[in-house]
Amino acid sequence: DVKVTQSSRYLVKRTGEKVFLECVQDMDHENMFWYRQDPGLGLRLIYFSYDVKMKEKGDIPEGYSVSREKKERFSLILESASTNQTSMYLCASRQGGSNQPQHFGDGTRLSIL
Amino acid sequence: DAKTTQPTSMDCAEGRAANLPCNHSTISGNEYVYWYRQIHSQGPQYIIHGLKNNETNEMASLIITEDRKSSTLILPHATLRDTAVYYCIVRPFVAGGSQGNLIFGKGTKLSVKP
């Protein structure tokens, strides 16, 4: 079975902190994605990576960065957390070069106080 | 913006088939139809996808009209655990796989009742 694991289900941080969200997939997928989900706004793409050390900005990259040093791991970094980054963060992975679907983790609900 | 239209909500009796419609009248020839569902406080779960032929897997069946302007997801024997928001998404096949963003609309909230 497909497995995408996000390191935390719930996280509480303070304004100005540097926050790391980790995602690991065990399917040897080339593509990995970070979304945030907010009520009324649906899922919005923050960043995606199509291979190790490769990344592209999504629709809302401001205030975020990513790291993909190994194929199975994709990290989302909030450089200096702000209250408007309180959200549900979802990681997904997908086999590259195909019509195969994205598979999602269970999400991290992040609260910035 | 999402390129699909779905009813806001639907009810289904437990044990009966749930038929969830989706309109995608502007679909292009290389665009696939994907269905996901999201149970409260969990990540979206992939259900099924197709291009133009009907598809079936262990979870559901996908019926795509001949003109591909609409589709129906069928859960053959709905259970209470199928209560969720169901999303219909169209996405083009992108050669090289460098992209693949999914645009989720508002979906259909399916309530399965005992």
pLDDT digits (tens, 9 = 90+) for A13-32: 999 999 999 999 999 999 99
- Selecting from A4, A50, A104 the residue whose C-beta is nearest the C-beta of B97 gives A50
Q: Which residues contact B70 (CB under 8 A, 6 or more apart)?
A: B21, B22, B23, B24, B25, B64
Nearest CA of chain A to the CA of B43: how many Å? Answer: 4
What gap in Å lies between CA A96 and CA A77, rounded to an integer? 23
Q: Which residues on B lie below 8 Å from A58 (Cβ)?
A: 101
What gap in Å lies between CA B43 and CA A107, rounded to an integer? 6
Nearest CA of chain A to the CA of B15: how many Å? Answer: 26
Between residues B40 and B7, the one the model is more confident about:
B7
What gap in Å lies between CA A56 and CA A93, rounded to an integer? 14
Nearest CA of chain A to the CA of B16: how many Å? Answer: 27
Could you read off the pLDDT of B33-58 as tens digits, one per residue? 999 999 988 999 999 999 998 999 99
What gap in Å lies between CA B34 and CA A91, rounded to an integer? 18
| Identity of residue A13 | K
A90 interfacial to chain B (CB closer than 8 Å): yes
What gap in Å lies between CA A106 and CA B14, rounded to an integer? 26
Rounded to a whole number of angstroms, the CA Rg of chain B reads 14
- A20 beta partners: A77
pLDDT of residue A113: 96
Q: How confident is the model at residue B113 (pLDDT cuts 50, 70, 90)?
A: very high
User: In A, residues 42-61, which contact B (CB 8 Å cutoff)?
Assistant: 42-43, 45, 48, 50, 56, 58-59
- Among A41-45, B8-12, B92-96, the range scoring the smallest mean pLDDT is B92-96
pLDDT of residue B98: 47
Token pair, residue B15, equals 């044990």
Q: Which residues contact B36 (CB under 8 A, 6 or more apart)?
A: A101, B44, B45, B46, B47, B86, B87, B89, B102, B104
Q: Closest residue of A to B85, CA-based?
A: A42
Interface of chain B toward chain A, CB-CB under 8 angstroms = 2, 32, 34, 36, 41-46, 49, 51, 93, 95-106
DSSP letter, residue B5: B
- A109 beta partners: A10, A88
